[in-house]
Amino acid sequence: MLKTIKNKLALSLLPILMLSSLSAVAEHGPQNSADKAAPEKSVAQSFTLEQAIDYALTNNPDLKIAAERVGQAEAQLGVALSAFYPQITAKVGYEHSNNPAQVFSMIVSQRQYSADQNINNPGYRQNFRPEIIGKLSLFRGGQDYQNSKAAELGIDAAEFERSTVRNALIEAVTASYYAYLAAQEAHKVAQDSILAIASELKQTKLRYESGTVLKSDVLSLEVQSAEAQSAEIRAANGIELSKTGIATLLGLSTDQPFTVAPSSSMLPKPALTASFNDLLELAMTQRPEIKAAASQVEISQRRLKKEQGAYLPKADAYVSYGQNSQNPGFSSSKDNVTAGVSVEMDLFSGLETKNRVSAAERKAAEARETERKTKLAIEQEVKVAYLKLEEALARLRVTEASVLSANEALRLVNEERRAETVTVTRYIESEVARNKAQSNTIAARYDALGAEAALKKAIGDWK
């Protein structure tokens, strides 16, 4: 009897199951202060839709992973900017040799040369050299600049990706919340059906015992009672399934108790307030996936220019301050300073530079096609969400009218039943039709709310 409700619940939970699968394979980051804010397991929290969304935005692991990726992008920018700062290194060297050329260099560096020394056979000599070396990149073919700009765009792309997760998360929480309410309503309908059929079955058995009805009437009601109980079991399981989906989205463990409360305000009445073209234009303007794809295109262009910069010369300035001595101690009378500028250019790198540029060009072409694919996917998503909301609203209008007709039909059959002018089979048909109409209305109502949430997600309302 409530097969339609079951199917609609399965469809509503599909995005939740997909999102939970992504959460399961993601790397687990270290716990932070937000994790400590989670309630103790012994305390059962109650969530309205608004509270569930707020809690999910704080505790959902997918959103935390996206936030960590933003932090990674910021750190990558710091790495890229470090190329514009001097690099300072401290080191200590030790040498021991009897090579005449090296020994002569040690003697001169240690400022101990005398004319009577035997240069051809100087013997063994050691040299300690503590020094500080500073290096500054003056020009690298624009590679450092392009790399820093790509890193800046990487932060923007990470932010857009986090907005994408946020947009999908709010829609999934909303859909699972409505699925839970729909399951509860379906459960109530099933329970009411069980009570109504049980009452009629009791009366029919009494009539059978008095010989006024047939045995087949009793058996028909017993079959109907079994079907109603089966529907009640399915609806109860639907409640637990939707609640499990909500727990996954909220980042709660399976053994942590919580309840789902009605919304603090009346449920909104779903409506379609704009044309498809207007909604599509809005989606192309504010969907974070499109902005992220555009950022990736620009990043790929920056990285291509970076690789092309390898064809240009590189210039570095350097300075070294230290001393040469036979002993580890430091003496300012033996210190020396070296400063200079070096310029180099790769004449042939085994075609490495050419291949790196070619790879970057392919990457840029891939990014452009990815952007085009993203736009097409969003256009399709908006179209599907628009059509589903349009269909759900039409079904809601039809089912609401059918409930009125079904209730009136059941009322008339009850009167005829009391007058014993209709069989119990006719009563069962009317009861089934009324329950089916109620179930279809419940499904259509929450389908419309879910479709409205999906359309908001499609146009990027929750970015």
117 or 345: whose pLDDT is higher? 345
* Amino acid identity for residue 163 in this structure: S
Q: Which of 41-50, 150-159, 206-215 bottoms out in mean pLDDT, i.e. has the lowest?
A: 41-50
In this model, does residue 33 exceed pLDDT 50? no
**CA Rg value for the chain:** 38
Nearest to 375 by CA among 455, 461, 289: 289
Distance CA 207, CA 201 (A): 10
Superfamily of domain covering 3-85+142-310+352-459: Outer membrane efflux proteins (OEP) (1.20.1600.10)
Q: What is the pLDDT of residues 295-325, one digit of tens each?
A: 999 999 999 999 999 999 999 999 999 988 8
Distance CA 415, CA 419 (A): 6
Distance CA 377, CA 379 (A): 5
Contacts of 412 (CB under 8 A, 6+ apart): none
Domain ranges across the chain: 3-85+142-310+352-459
Distance CA 440, CA 400 (A): 9
**pTM for the complete prediction?**
0.74
Three-state secondary structure call for residue 304: helix
Bridge-based pairing state of the strands 258-260 and 45-47: parallel
Q: Looking at the DSSP assignment, which residues form a beta bridge with residue 150?
A: none
Bridge-based pairing state of the strands 335-344 and 314-323: antiparallel
Please report the DSSP string for 44-56 in residue order: -EEE-HHHHHHHH
Centroid of chain to Cα 138: 41
Other beta carbons within 10 angstroms of residue 173's beta carbon come to: 27
Q: What is the pLDDT of residues 329-383, one digit of tens each?
A: 777 777 889 999 999 999 998 999 999 999 999 999 999 999 999 999 999 999 9
Residue whose entry in the numeric block shows the structure tokens 């097969």: 3
